[in-house]
Each structure stands twice: as C-alpha cells, then as structure tokens.
Structure 1
Amino acid sequence: MKSSITQGVKLLATGSAVPDLCISNELISNIVDTSDEWIFNRTGIKERRVLSGSTSLIDIAALASTNALNKAGISALDIDLIILATSTPNDLFGSASQLQAKIGASKALAFDITAACSGFVIAMVTAAQFIQNASYSNVLVVGADVLSNWTNWSDRRTCILFGDGAGAAILQSCSISNNNLLGFHLNTNGRKFDQLNIQYEYSNTDGNFFSPGLKGNFNYITMNGKEVYKFAVSKVPQSIQYCLDSLNLSVEHIDWLLLHQANERILNAVSSRLMIPSEKVISNLAKYGNTSAASIPLALNEAIEDSRIQSGDLLVMSGFGAGLTWGTLVFRWNP
C-alpha cells in the first residue's frame, strides 16, 4: 500500500504557564488529616499550583501558547490548526475556539481533544497526521487542565495529587528526511473507565420536559489508586517497548524518558521495568503534582529551557490515565 505521508514533522518550540497560587503540603494538612511527609513519601509531590480569582483555563493556555510562539519566532496568524487537549474546558462544547480568539490566531481551525492525562500525546499524534498528509503546515498543540475545579478538597485520597497548568508545543511541516516524530502507539481499555473518572450523577431535581426529576451534575474526581497504578506500570512499559521495536531501537537509544507526572512511584516502577536509569527520567512532579494533559508539555518545556535536552536527543513520551487510555510518542529534538 502506498504511504500517504508527504511531509515530515518538526517540533519547533514549546511553552508553559502555571498559576501564581502555590498550595504546599503543609497547607493541605490544615484541611485534611495528612502531613507533608505522608504526601511526599507516597507521591513525590511537595506542592501544586491552583487557579484563583478570575484567571481561567484559557488564560494559562494562552500564556503557554504565546510563550511557544515567541520562541518559534512566528505569529499566531501563521498557525493553521489549534488542538487543545483538556478535560476541564471553560465550555462543555469546547474551549479551543476561545483560545484561538485569545491569541489572535484567526486563520486557524481549533478543536478540543478530551483524553485526560493521555490528552497531550494523543493531540500530538493527531497534529502529526494533519501535517504528514500536507493538510496543515503549522499546528499549535496545547495541554491544559484545571483539576482544582473538580477536586474534592475534603478527600485525602485525591486532593493531595492534583494541580493546574498548561503546556504548548508548535509542530511544523518539514522534509521527510528531517522528520522528528519517529513513531507512536495509542490504546484504550474502556472496560476500566470507572477506575478514574468524573461521573455525571442524576438527582431528583428539576429535570426537563422529557425527563422530569432526572437532572444532574458532574461529581468530583474519583480514583481507584491501586488499579490505576497496576494499569500504568503494566501497560506503559509495553507501549514504550512496542514503539522502540517498531523503530528498530533499543532502550539504550533513549536519552530522556518523559512520563505523565502522576506519582513518583509510577515513574520509578516504569523506568525500572525498562531498565532506564533515573538520571534519564524527566520529572517536575514535586513542584506541580498531577496536572493531567498539561503535565508532559510542562515538564518538556522546563527541560528544554534548562538545557537538559540537547539537540539530537531521543525522547520517549508516554501518557496514561482516565479512559483508561495510554499512549507513547518517540521523537528527536532538533531545534
């Protein structure tokens, strides 16, 4: 079968943004029965950022996007497509159009992807397909979530984990010989959706004309931590190995492993199963907690800004979470 790929994909630049309000473990210990030591030993998290006042998801997504655009040296008017990976939109119908307007990218098509903690990886793969078949040349991919809006701050099992943030990446078409995005693997197990979700619950209130008394609301985040851990440490290494095998690469070729920043125990278990040394694992979990779709681009941007990631480095990114979904993307950083 003839390949439909006519263009390569280059990761041009990244950007990120987090709220100003910092919530420490000590502060959370004043709300629920916990402590800084208990939280850090079990999660690796010391603090997280939370939106406050009138600041919105779109505000931090726009800051991350502008940061990436400035680094890339291109205008918002050069963007052909915006993909916003979020599970906490401003509008249930989608928020990408608001982001398009906020940054002035009036020529871009914009739409949302809802895949929680796997959202950024899935959005990057989606963007790459549009570029590789020559539909678009410049694509802005944003991962942003405001999980604080859906956190039960009296639930010790979940309130210690989550924070807010945004990260952005600009992908651009290039020659196939200069292609940076080398391979991917995506998967879903919908039978396990209830292990991590925000359920819509009906209640005996007003309802509507056709279903009186059946109106409801979305609840808070619920999670079966043990099941999510078992899922992540089983499926993520398999996904990474599948990608490497398909590219005739070995674990030794990996310069950096960038996993969704969910829990330090998961990061350690996945890297251990793959026999990847800890110094090759990128993590900013201690500062931000689990920021869902924002976690990978946020950590990626910081690692690039800190010059840890060098030109020519091979990166493996893996997201995993609600759905249950998981996915891996392999790319080479050649700015």
Structure 2
Amino acid sequence: MAIFALQNVRISGIASVVPKRVISNIEDCHPALQPERERLVRNIGILNRRIMRDWECFSDYALVAAEAMIKQLGWAKEDVDALIVVTQSPDYLLPSTAIILQDRLGLSSKTIAFDINLGCSGFPFGIHVIGSMIASGSIRKALLVIGDKSASMKSPLFSDAASVTALEFDQRAKPMYFDLNSDGSGFKAIYKPVGGHREPYATQHSIPVANNNGLLTWPDEVILDGPEIMNFSISTVPKVVMGLLEFANVKKEEIDYFIFHQANKMINETIRKKLDIPIEKVPSTLLNFGNTSSASLPLTITVEMAKELNNQSKKVLGCGFGVGLSWGTFIADIDNAICPPLIEF
C-alpha cells in the first residue's frame, strides 16, 4: 500500500486558466439530439464546457498560469528549482513539454523539468512527487503544471483547462498525507487504442464507423466503459478516503473541504452519499466546466475556494481517480495560499 506522510512542504499558491470559448451541451448540438442531451445533462451534471482553439496546445494555457503564479508570489524565476508537468496532452511525442515550458518561461537551465503521463489522478501524484523532492532538501521552490486538452464538440464530458500549483520548503508546514495506487488490469476502462506504438495511426483510422446507435465514431477516439468506471469509482474512493483519514489520525469532521475529481454528477454524488459528507463541504465545478481531467481538483479549488484560501487556513482532502486505472488521495492544510481568480484566455 503506497501511503505516506511528507514534512516541511507548503502549497504556496494555485492558479488556473480556462479557454474563453464556452460550449453548451444542449444549445450547441444538433436539434434532433437536444432531448437526449437534456436527459444526459440531468444525469452527468455538465451543462457547459470550455474548449481551446484548434491550433492551441495545453502548454499555451499552462504558460499563462505559470506566469501568473510566479508574478503573484513574487518569485524570482532563477529560484524555481523544478517544473513538473502532468498531462496526457503533450506538445510533441518528444521532447517533454516540461522542458519546452522551462525555456518559454525563462527559467534557469538548472531547473529540473520532466513530464508525468497521468490523467484524472495526476494532481495527488504530482503534489507527492514534487513534495518528496522538497522534503528531501534537494529543492526549495517548484511548480506543478497540470491539465489537458481533451474537449471536443462530440463528447459531452470533457473540457479544457490548465493549472499551476506552487510548492516550497517550509519548516512550519503541517504534514501532508498521501495514498497513491494503480491497477493496470483495468486500463481498457478508459483508453485511446490508436496513436501509440501498439497501434500506430494509419489511414483507416480517419474513416468514421457507425456504432450501435447509428452515430458515427472515429477509431482514434478515447474509449470509455461507463459501467466499469462507475463501479470502480464508487467502490474504491470511499474506502481510500476513510483509510487515509485513519492513517493521518484525522476525523472526517475536521476536513473543511473534500475535493473530488469532477468525473460526473452520478459518480460524485454517489461517493458523497456513501461517505455521508454534507454537500456544502464538497464543492463542484461540473455544471459549467465539465470534466477537466487532471486539472479538475486545482480548478475546483480556484473557482470555489480561492477567496477563503487567500487569507485563511483550510484542511483539504483531495482525491483523483480514473484513467489507468489510477487513484490518489491527499490531505493537506492549505494556509494563506495565493489563489488568483480564474483566468480566461
């Protein structure tokens, strides 16, 4: 069981960026599909989504978020020791997006920069990777860049976003607690079969085929096994949440906010009810931002909690779960962090 405690690590700030372009799941679909979409919106809880322009990359938004975070904190760029990018939407297959961003941001060539290929669970994993480096004493200040370009006109679930979390060494910081897990036997629950070395992209993958409902799909799209994802989420998340609370010796009532990956309304409401958490302690951004993959936890913090975190201390439990299958949970005291308002780009 991968369960840990980290000392001397502080979350100093969180900045999030979304596209200005808003897509409505009801108004921006074919009129014949609107009744079905209305039922779908009631079930998944996603009305509006944000979508990047075709020529934009996730890193373009990450750059804006990182610049804003560095400026708000008053950090000198030469003092940023590490830049870790968690994404499934790299600029190129190689090199890593982190190294490209290191140069675009004007950071020192001594900055540690690399990518982590994770989706919905990426925020807890990324915080732990950077936190471990800081706790070891090897670095003092670092940026976690996270998010994806995953929105499309066809899928009613996904939305685009980028977020940057600043972490630094602080001997006064309260411990952070983590529980990180993986189960590759379920990788086909959420996967994109075409485009890697196992099945390289070829001409036939650009030809749409009709599914069982008569709708056209493309072979290179992400495949989602809805029932499997639902079963995995509602059976796994409550157990790991309670397990980490026990490990950290923290009572459920002591947590100010529970931040869950914004999967969909059915999944998240089932998890909340199984854990018997008051709805006011579980902020959600599903309605107007959809499923933003790895950025969903920091985006929700930015949208729903920024004002409180700017001048207060809050004990937060965050849990990301999904593609992999992979799931990660953390408990952290976020104390007077710098959280600028959501940036639209």
TM-score class, shorter: 0.7 to 0.9
Cα shift readout 1:27-77 (whole Å, capped 9, x = no counterpart): 442288244522321111111111115322111011111222222221332
- Secondary structure of 1:282's counterpart equals coil
CA distance in 2, matches of 1:287, 1:10: 30
Cα shift readout 1:90-144 (whole Å, capped 9, x = no counterpart): 1112211122122212241111111111112111111111011111111100111
Overall identity of the aligned pairs, in %:
30
User: Is residue 2:7 matched to residue 1:29?
Assistant: no
Inter-CA distance 161–193: structure 2 relative to 1 (3 Å threshold) = same
Inter-CA distance 63–237: structure 2 relative to 1 (3 Å threshold) = same
Given that 1:303 and 1:309 are in contact with CA atoms closer than 8 Å, whether structure 2 keeps it comes out as no
Structure 1 residue 233 displacement after superposition: 0.9
User: What are the equivalent positions in structure 2 for 1:270-285 lying under 5 Å apart?
Assistant: 270-285=271-286
TM-score of the superposition, structure 2-length normalised? 0.85
Given that 1:120 and 1:142 are in contact with CA atoms closer than 8 Å, whether structure 2 keeps it comes out as no
TM-score of the superposition, structure 1-length normalised? 0.87
- Secondary structure of 1:316's counterpart equals strand
Given that 2:47 and 2:288 are in contact with CA atoms closer than 8 Å, whether structure 1 keeps it comes out as yes
CA distance in 2, matches of 1:291, 1:32: 27
Q: Which amino acid aligns with 2:100?
A: Q
2:295 paired residue number: 294
Given that 1:11 and 1:333 are in contact with CA atoms closer than 8 Å, whether structure 2 keeps it comes out as yes
Structure 1 residue 202 displacement after superposition: 4.8
Given that 1:143 and 1:168 are in contact with CA atoms closer than 8 Å, whether structure 2 keeps it comes out as yes
2:208 paired residue number: none
2:107 paired residue among 97, 105, 108? 105
CA distance in 1, matches of 2:147, 2:282: 22
CA distance in 1, matches of 2:15, 2:264: 23
Given that 1:180 and 1:333 are in contact with CA atoms closer than 8 Å, whether structure 2 keeps it comes out as no
Given that 1:122 and 1:186 are in contact with CA atoms closer than 8 Å, whether structure 2 keeps it comes out as yes
- Secondary structure of 2:53's counterpart equals coil
2:191 paired residue number: 197
The answer for unaligned runs of 5 or more in structure 2 is 205-217, 337-345
Of the structure 1 ranges 304-313 and 195-204, higher mean CA displacement relative to structure 2 is found in 304-313
CA distance in 1, matches of 2:259, 2:221: 28
2:43 paired residue number: 42
Given that 1:180 and 1:334 are in contact with CA atoms closer than 8 Å, whether structure 2 keeps it comes out as no
Given that 1:182 and 1:331 are in contact with CA atoms closer than 8 Å, whether structure 2 keeps it comes out as yes
Q: CA RMSD in A?
A: 2.3
1:128 paired residue number: 131
1:214 paired residue number: none
Q: Which amino acid aligns with 1:191?
A: S
2:339 paired residue number: none
2:214 paired residue number: none
CA distance in 1, matches of 2:185, 2:27: 37
Inter-CA distance 130–308: structure 2 relative to 1 (3 Å threshold) = closer
CA distance in 1, matches of 2:243, 2:61: 34
2:80 paired residue number: 79
Structure 1 residue 228 displacement after superposition: 0.4
Q: Which amino acid aligns with 2:13?
A: A
CA distance in 1, matches of 2:111, 2:309: 32
CA distance in 1, matches of 2:112, 2:32: 44
Of the structure 1 ranges 261-270 and 30-39, higher mean CA displacement relative to structure 2 is found in 30-39
User: Is residue 2:18 matched to residue 1:18?
Assistant: yes
Cα shift readout 1:256-280 (whole Å, capped 9, x = no counterpart): 0001111012111111111110000
CA distance in 1, matches of 2:244, 2:7: 21
- Secondary structure of 1:143's counterpart equals strand
CA distance in 2, matches of 1:205, 1:259: 39
The answer for unaligned runs of 5 or more in structure 1 is 207-216
User: Is residue 2:315 matched to residue 1:314?
Assistant: yes
User: Is residue 2:325 matched to residue 1:329?
Assistant: no
1:90 paired residue number: 91
User: Is residue 2:248 matched to residue 1:254?
Assistant: no
1:186 paired residue among 160, 180, 184? 180
CA distance in 1, matches of 2:331, 2:30: 42
- Secondary structure of 2:91's counterpart equals coil
